Amino acid sequence: MSELLTLFATVASGIGNTAANVAGLWPLASGFWPLPSGLWLHPAVILLLGGALLPLVPSRLKMSYLLLIPLLVFARTLALSKGVYGEVTFLNWTLTFGRVDGLSLVFGYIMAVACFIGTLYGAHVKRDAEHIAAWTYVAGSLGTIYAGDLLTVFLFWELMAFSSVFLIWFRGRNESLNAGYRYLLVHVAGGVALLAGIMMHVHATGSWAFNLFDVHHPTAATWLIMGGFILNAAVPPLHAWLPDAYGEGTFNGSVFLSAFTTKTAVYALCRGFAGMEILVALGVIMALYGVVYAVLENDSRRLLAYHIISQVGYMVAGVGLGTEMAINGACAHAFAHILYKGLLFMGCGAVLHMTGQSKFTELGGLYKKMPWTFVFTLIGGLSISAFPLFSGFVSKSMIVAAGYEEHKLWAAYLLMLASAGTFLHTGLKVPYFIWFGKNNCQPDTWKRAAEPPWNMMAAMAIASVLCIYIGCYTPYLYRMLPYPVVYEPYTSYHVSETLLILCFTGLGFFLLLKKLVPTATISVDLDWPYRMGGRAFLWLARKPVQAFDNVVGEIYRAGGLVPLMRSANVVDWFDRVVIDGVVDGFAGSFRRLGSRLRSTQRGALQENLALTFGAAAVLAVAFVIWF
pLDDT at residue number 16: 41
Q: How much is the average pLDDT of 84-100?
A: 87
pLDDT at residue number 395: 93
Average pLDDT over the chain reads 85
450 and 581 part of one domain: no
The residue among 439 and 244 whose pLDDT is bigger is 244
Of 321, 470, 323, 343, the residue nearest 395 (C-alpha):
470
Question: In whole angstroms, what is the distance from residue 190 CA to residue 192 CA?
Answer: 5
pLDDT at residue number 564: 78
Helix axes 253-272, 128-146, angle to 10 degrees: 10
328 and 376 part of one domain: yes
332 and 461 part of one domain: yes
- Chain segment 379-435, per-residue pLDDT in tens: 999 999 989 999 999 999 999 999 998 888 899 999 988 888 888 878 888 888 898
pLDDT at residue number 626: 61
Pairing of strands 93-100, 83-90: antiparallel
Q: Supply angle C-alpha 389, 428, 116, rounded to 5.
A: 60
Checking if the pLDDT of 251 tops 70, the result is yes
Asked if the structure places residue 537 within a domain, the reply is: no
- Chain segment 264-279, per-residue pLDDT in tens: 999 999 999 999 999 9
| pLDDT tier for residue 627 given thresholds of 50, 70 and 90 | low
Q: Kindly write down the DSSP assignment for every residue of 200-244, as one continuous string.
A: HHHHHH---B-----TTS--HHHHHHHHHHHHHTT-TTS-THHHH
118 and 229 part of one domain: yes
Q: How much is the average pLDDT of 112-139?
A: 96
Q: How much is the average pLDDT of 60-79?
A: 95
Asked if the structure places residue 536 within a domain, the reply is: no
Asked if the structure places residue 216 within a domain, the reply is: yes
Whether the bond between 237 and the residue before it is cis, its omega within 30 degrees of 0, is yes
Residue 129 Cα distances to 61, 73, 134, 254, 405, angstroms: 17, 19, 9, 15, 49
- Chain segment 53-65, per-residue pLDDT in tens: 999 999 999 999 9
| pLDDT cut 70: percent of the chain above it | 86
Contact criterion met (CB below 8 Å) for 479 and 23 = yes
Per the DSSP assignment, residues forming a β-bridge with 93 are: 90
pLDDT at residue number 197: 96
Q: What is the signed CA dihedral for 20, 22, 25, 30, rounded to 10 degrees?
A: -170
Count structural domains, the chain. 2
What's the pTM? Answer: 0.82
Which 3 state secondary structure label does DSSP give 441? coil
Domain that holds residue 451: 2-526
pLDDT at residue number 282: 96
Checking if the pLDDT of 138 tops 70, the result is yes
Contact criterion met (CB below 8 Å) for 306 and 297 = yes
Residues in the chain: 627
Checking if the pLDDT of 322 tops 50, the result is yes
- Chain segment 547-583, per-residue pLDDT in tens: 887 877 778 777 777 787 877 787 777 767 777 666 6
The residue among 30 and 579 whose pLDDT is bigger is 579
Asked if the structure places residue 183 within a domain, the reply is: yes
Among the ranges given (211-220, 478-487, 553-562, 608-617), the one the predictor scored with the smallest mean pLDDT: 608-617
586 and 517 part of one domain: no
Asked if the structure places residue 434 within a domain, the reply is: yes
Which 3 state secondary structure label does DSSP give 253? helix
Asked if the structure places residue 543 within a domain, the reply is: no
470 and 376 part of one domain: yes
579 and 450 part of one domain: no
Asked if the structure places residue 190 within a domain, the reply is: yes
Q: Kindly write down the DSSP assignment for every residue of 59-93, as one continuous string.
A: HHHHHHHHHHHHHHHHHHHHH--SEEEEEEEETTE
158 and 97 part of one domain: yes
Of 243, 246, 317, 239, the residue nearest 275 (C-alpha):
317
370 and 509 part of one domain: yes
601 and 522 part of one domain: no
Asked if the structure places residue 414 within a domain, the reply is: yes
At 406, give phi and psi (nearest 5°).
-90, 10
336 and 243 part of one domain: yes
Contact criterion met (CB below 8 Å) for 336 and 275 = no
pLDDT at residue number 210: 94
Contact criterion met (CB below 8 Å) for 48 and 135 = yes
pLDDT at residue number 321: 95
